[in-house]
Amino acid sequence: MPEPIDVPTDGAPVTVAIDGPAGSGKSSVSKQVARVLGFGFLDTGAAYRALAWHVLEGGGDTDDASAVVASIEDFDYAISLDPDDHWVRVGETFVTDAVREPRVTAAVSGVARVPAVRERVNVLFRALVAASGADGVVVEGRDITTVVFPDAPVRILLTAAPKVRAARRSAELTGEDAAAVAAALHRRDASDAKVVDFLTAAPGVTVVDSTELDFDRTVDAVIDVIRTATGEN
């Protein structure tokens, strides 16, 4: 088991910000890194999915920016930061599985592209990390290293070649046509790229390219970056 990371003397959690495109492995890798280091894990994409679910449940149209913004006013959202006990709740309803339904997946880009929504949700992410009580929190998603936590002590862009990302996503979604999965991934990349740049590392962000790495080696590579950035090496 790796040695723990030293935390700041002020008690603030070490924030590990991880960006990356769909299929790069950032969710599974981030969760395992958090598990190994004893950190919390924040899946930021779940918030956008939960809001998309909330809009749909209310009969709203996620392509209508004004409807999306209106829905966030009564968006009572909670998420677990425990990598071994992941759950998502909206109001009194646990939506952990529901936010992964195809109808939500198809609608989430419409929610995530609204600037007012991103601003409100980013404030929520910072509050969740600050109140976590954890030694550190691994935060993964889009524009985490540049907008949400631009001053995080550890900022990583986890990426992989498009063909590799498509193959990995296809393997996750058993029973679905590989070509259709690849096409959906490319469409999502194109849509999300209109809002955030998730393929180019900003200054000070370390790139971890997992194209030639298996899962365990990718986890090790990310942990090595964390240790170097926090002065543990």
> For the chain, how are helix, strand and coil distributed in percent, rounded to 5?
45, 15, 40
DSSP 125-184: HHHHHHTS-SSEEEEEESSIIIIISTT-SEEEEEE--HHHHHHHHHHHSTTS-HHHHHHH
Residue 26 annotated as lining a ligand binding site: yes
Residues with Cβ within 8 Å of residue 118, at least 6 apart in sequence: 112, 143, 147, 195
Residue 136 annotated as lining a ligand binding site: no
Residue 22 annotated as lining a ligand binding site: yes
Residue 47 annotated as lining a ligand binding site: no
Residue 21 annotated as lining a ligand binding site: yes
Q: What are phi and psi of 130, to 5 degrees?
A: -60, -35
User: CA-CA distances (angstroms) from residue 91 to 29, 74, 104, 112?
Assistant: 29, 9, 17, 20
Helix then strand count (H, E) for the chain reads 8, 8
Report the side by side order of strands in the sheet with 40-43. 40-43, 136-141, 14-19, 154-159, 206-209
Residue 109 annotated as lining a ligand binding site: no
Residue 80 annotated as lining a ligand binding site: no
Residue 24 annotated as lining a ligand binding site: yes
Residue 183 annotated as lining a ligand binding site: no
Q: Which three-class secondary structure state does DSSP give residue 215?
A: helix
Mark the binding-site residues, compressed into ranges.
20-28
Task: Summarize the annotated binding site for ATP as residue ranges.
Answer: 20-28
